[in-house]
A and B are shown apart, each in its own frame.
Chain A
Amino acid sequence: DTEVTQTPKHLVMGMTNKKSLKCEQHMGHRAMYWYKQKAKKPPELMFVYSYEKLSINESVPSRFSPECPNSSLLNLHLHALQPEDSALYLCASSQHYSSYNEQFFGPGTRLTVL
């Protein structure tokens, strides 16, 4: 299984809602990532988890809260988002957190904040 799965595919939420994005991989990878991609822009790194511990937070607002409950699963909890947070949220994983391991990306969750 060389796949990273993300659910849901699409999500529409209001600014007062709380929702979660889910990402799963069964490749035995120990590093997992969240990226944000606005329309017609390149992906931007948000968070990195290595061995279930948060290694990098790219100064992301606290309304985004990541969680890595085990080595296969990565969540992104959303609360009080703004319309400008509407974007494609991509999850990725790699064997280890290093400069030479390739990252495998999921198809993304397209988020719309009303």
Chain B
Amino acid sequence: DAKTTQPNSMESNEEEPVHLPCNHSTISGTDYIHWYRQLPSQGPEYVIHGLTSNVNNRMASLAIAEDRKSSTLILHRATLRDAAVYYCILMKGGGSNYKLTFGKGTLLTVNP
């Protein structure tokens, strides 16, 4: 399975943008890039996903490098509620083995 690499932790200030990086140099052409987050004492929550083009939704934006070997999750204005572990996950397209394989993720701390 293609692996992702994320920083163990990052810190941000409230109301500032946050850029969470993810490297996935062994991504294959049909792999989707998914981001989930897990707030303390809660189940994971879907954030965003994309294949090749940049994606926006109400929670965040996903910027995908042209060669697809890296991506960045962008939270436009961090709030205290965004403090969580953020997971960058590749899901294989094609075939029949679609698994969310969670890595260690990035622990985001948001300072007031």
Which residues of chain A have a CB within 8 Å of any CB of chain B? 4, 33, 42-45, 48, 55-56, 90, 92, 97-100, 102-108
Contact = CB atoms under 8 A, between A and B. Distances in A.
Contact of A105 (B32, B43, B97): B43
A102 B92 CA distance: 13
Q: How large is the interface on B (under 10, 10 to 19, 20 to 34, 35 or more residues)?
A: 20 to 34
Interface of B: 30-32, 34, 36, 38, 42-46, 49, 51, 85, 87, 91-94, 96-105
SS class, residues of chain B in contact with chain A: loop
A24 B30 CA distance: 31
9 contacts: A42-B103, A43-B102, A56-B97, A90-B44, A99-B30, A99-B91, A99-B94, A100-B93, A103-B46
Contacts of B38: 43
A44 B101 CA distance: 7
B43 A55 contact: no
B96 A55 contact: yes
Contacts of B93: 99-100
